[in-house]
Amino acid sequence: MAQERSSSLSTGTKLVIALLVLGTILVIISRLYYIPPSEDALDILQQQGVPAARQGMSLSREGRKLLPPEEQQELDTLYAEALQALTPEEQQRFKAIAQQGPTADDQQVTESGALLQKALRALPQEKLQRLWELIQKAVRLQLDQEKQPATGQP
C-alpha cells in the first residue's frame, strides 16, 4: 500500500510538473506571438505626439462625415463656440492651419493643438463632455469603416 501511495504521489507530482511546464511554454509562446488588440477610439485620442495628433485629426475628420447630420451640426456648433474663446488673430491662425489639413507641418500641428486646447478650456464641462463623446464616436465610426473588407460589405 505504501508503494501504491508512493507511485500515485510520483505520478501526481509528474503530472503537476508537466502542467507547469506546459503552462510556462504556452505563456512564452503567447508573449512571442501576441498580437495586440486593435486600438479603440479612446486609446488613439489619448496618445501623445505629432504622429498621434495627425492620426486623431484624420480619423475624426473622416469619421465626422459618417455621423448623422444632426450630430455633425452639433459638433460644428460646439467647435465654433469653443473657438470664440480665442482672439481673432488666434482664430484666423487656427482656421488657416485647419485648412491645410494633412499637409500642415509638425510645428503647425503643434500650434493648432495648443490653440484648440486653449479654446476647449473655455467650454462648460457638459459641452466639453458632449464634444468629446461626438469626437470619439466619429473616430470609432471611421475605425469600424477601415476594418471592413475592401468590398464595402460589413
In whole angstroms, what separates CA 86 from the centre of its chain?
A: 27
pLDDT at 51 over 90: no
**Within this chain, do residues 1 and 67 fall inside the same structural domain, yes or no?**
no
Q: Which domain holds residue 90?
A: 41-147
Across 16-20, 90-94, 106-110, 114-118, least confident range: 16-20
> Is 152 part of any domain?
no
CB 36 within 8 A of CB 145: no
> Is 90 part of any domain?
yes
Type of residue found at 82: A
User: Of 53 and 111, which is predicted with more confidence?
Assistant: 111
> Is 112 part of any domain?
yes
**Within this chain, do residues 29 and 45 fall inside the same structural domain, yes or no?**
no
**Within this chain, do residues 25 and 54 fall inside the same structural domain, yes or no?**
no
**Within this chain, do residues 121 and 141 fall inside the same structural domain, yes or no?**
yes
Residue 60's pLDDT is 81
> Is 153 part of any domain?
no
**Within this chain, do residues 88 and 14 fall inside the same structural domain, yes or no?**
no
Share of the chain above pLDDT 90, in %: 25
CB 70 within 8 A of CB 91: no
> Is 143 part of any domain?
yes
Question: How many domains are contained in the chain?
Answer: 2
pTM: 0.62
Mean of pLDDT values over 125-145: 90
Phi, psi of 35 (to 5 degrees): -110, 115
**Within this chain, do residues 87 and 119 fall inside the same structural domain, yes or no?**
yes
**Within this chain, do residues 63 and 111 fall inside the same structural domain, yes or no?**
yes
